[in-house]
């Protein structure tokens, strides 16, 4: 097992480091993605179906597809899908995202959707059940992922979503931007030591909130999921605009707020939300462009990201520091991040 970890302490950190290459390998699937895109005609509605981290990738899909294609897009948890089956028709494309291709809820959702709608599965494990059940398949090329918490596979799922949306919309410039992402992610991973220090400071927190708007909302949800899965700290991801509808009541000095604030349309409003939580005594850990001085000044901890990454592609980059944050918090609390209690890599019961 030591040899398989190639010198890393855990699979989780090894796999975070494999993120850039996993994206690169997945980008090589572009021609396959284009072939699938060509066959998808007369789509009037898109419906993503998935569980866990794959569900969060699907949420990013909604923002990407609605922005680029203007096609109404829903995201449904696989375990809740049966309640929506009546809405399916032949002009609906149902996209299933599943790393393992074996998640029971997702597989049974594919079986419910086929013959009613077009079905497409985005899958990491070659030859898995999902690849046999769906009409179309796109592979993520992350390689095997051993850590229970999904890390590099999330990046590759997002890569497929952007490639598919770019192919369907004919916007090739998105592919050019995507090609720059592996290098940017690699540089972001270099913040590892800084993030480790931050996690040491906050590792005894009982609750942590993660907030973001638009493209950063799924990032907030996924950052919170990573932290709860492997560090056992109660964490909640929230759309920053919803804070005032409940969670603000819980915000106080000992509740750190991780704020995802890439440059773009949502930036000013997110900054406003950060001011709100600061006023209530919270410590703020902010992620944003390294050029955004105002963000750096207002936050207690600042994680500086490449300024060329705006909110549209931010999900691919901004999640990486949050994966590292969860990993180092887990290790700092004496937990084995690779095998969190009560969780399985692939859930084959409904
Ligand atoms: C389990 C894993 C998660 C994963 C989810 C969905 O809960 O622990 O990491 O995101 O299943 O798995 P899938 O293979 O369908 O993507």
Determine the average pLDDT of the residues in 312-325: 98
Phi first, then psi: give them for residue 173, nearest 5 degrees. Answer: -65, -25
Q: What is the pLDDT of residues 99-155, one digit of tens each?
A: 999 999 999 999 999 999 999 999 999 999 999 999 999 999 999 999 999 999 999
Question: How much is the pLDDT for 254?
Answer: 94
Contacting residues for 125 by C-beta, under 8 A, at least 6 apart: 99, 100, 101, 102, 131
**Top mutation candidate among 58, 60, 100, 342 for ligand 1, by most atoms within 8 Å of CB:** 100
Strand partners, 174: none
Rounded to the nearest angstrom, the distance between the alpha carbon of 253 and the centre of ligand 1 is 33
Among the listed ranges 3-7, 60-64, 255-259, which one has the minimum average pLDDT value? 3-7
Q: What percent of the chain shows pLDDT beyond 90?
A: 97
Contact 118, 93 (CB under 8 A): yes
Question: How much is the pLDDT for 21?
Answer: 98
- For residue range 71-103, list pLDDT tens digits in order: 999 999 999 999 999 999 999 999 999 999 999
pLDDT value of residue 4: 87
For the chain, what is the total number of helices (H) and then of strands (E)? 13, 10
Four-residue CA torsion sign, 172, 176, 179, 181 = negative
Q: Tell me: the pLDDT tens digits for 221-234?
A: 999 999 999 999 99
Q: Does residue 2 carry a pLDDT above 80?
A: no
Residue 305, CA atoms < 13 Å, CB-side half-sphere:
27
Instruction: Write the ipTM.
Output: 0.98
What residue's CA is closest to ligand 1, atom 7? 52
Ligand 1 atom having least distance to the Cα of 53: 10
Q: Give yes or no for residue 106 CB within 6 A of ligand 1.
A: yes
Over residues 37-48, mean pLDDT: 96
116 carries an active-site annotation: no
Atom of ligand 1 nearest to the CA of 101: 14
Pocket test of ligand 1: the residue of 103, 155, 221, 319 to mutate, having most ligand atoms within 8 Å of its CB, is: 103
Could you tell me the end-to-end alpha-carbon distance of the chain, in angstroms, rounded to an integer?
31
Q: Is residue 3's pLDDT more than 80?
A: no
Ligand 1 center–CA 33 separation, angstroms: 23
Residue 121 gets which letter from DSSP?
Answer: E
- Residues 176-202 have a mean pLDDT of 98
Question: Which of 345, 349, 350 best tests ligand 1's pocket when mutated (most atoms within 8 Å of CB)?
Answer: 345
Task: Give the closest residue (by CA) to ligand 1 atom 2.
Answer: 345
Query: Hey, is 164 helix, strand or coil?
Result: helix
């Amino acid at each position: 097992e030591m040899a398989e970890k190639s010198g890393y302490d855990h699979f989780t950190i090894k796999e975070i480091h494999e993120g850039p290459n996993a994206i690169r390998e997945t980008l090589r699937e572009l021609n396959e993605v284009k072939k699938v895109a060509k066959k998808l005609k007369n789509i009037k509605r898109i419906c993503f179906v998935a569980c866990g981290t794959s569900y969060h990738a699907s949420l990013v899909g909604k923002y990407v597809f609605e922005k680029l294609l203007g096609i109404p897009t829903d995201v449904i948890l696989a375990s809740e899908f049966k309640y929506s089956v009546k809405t399916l028709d032949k002009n609906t494309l149902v996209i299933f995202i599943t790393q393992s291709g074996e998640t029971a809820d997702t597989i049974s959702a594919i079986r419910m959707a086929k013959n009613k709608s077009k079905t497409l599965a985005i899958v990491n494990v070659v030859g898995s059940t999902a690849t046999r059940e769906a009409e179309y398949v796109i592979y993520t090329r992350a390689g095997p992922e051993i850590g229970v918490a999904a890390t590099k596979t999330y990046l590759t799922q997002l890569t497929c979503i952007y490639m598919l949306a770019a192919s369907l919309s004919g916007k090739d410039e998105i592919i050019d931007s995507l090609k720059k992402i592996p290098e940017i992610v690699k540089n972001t991973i270099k913040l590892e030591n800084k993030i480790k220090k931050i996690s040491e400071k906050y590792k005894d927190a009982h609750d942590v909130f993660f907030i973001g708007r638009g493209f950063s909302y799924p990032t907030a949800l996924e950052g919170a999921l990573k932290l709860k899965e492997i560090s056992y700290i109660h964490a909640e991801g929230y759309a920053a605009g919803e804070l005032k509808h409940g969670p603000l009541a819980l915000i106080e000095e000992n509740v750190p707020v991780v704020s995802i604030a890439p440059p773009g349309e949502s930036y000013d409003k997110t900054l406003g939300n950060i001011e709100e939580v600061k006023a209530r005594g919270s410590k703020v850990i902010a992620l944003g462009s390294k050029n955004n001085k105002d963000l750096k000044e207002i936050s207690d901890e600042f994680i500086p990201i490449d300024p060329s990454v705006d909110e549209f592609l931010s999900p691919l980059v901004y999640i990486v520091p949050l994966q590292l944050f969860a990993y180092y918090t887990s290790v700092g609390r004496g937990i084995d991040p690779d095998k969190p209690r009560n969780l399985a890599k692939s859930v084959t019961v409904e």
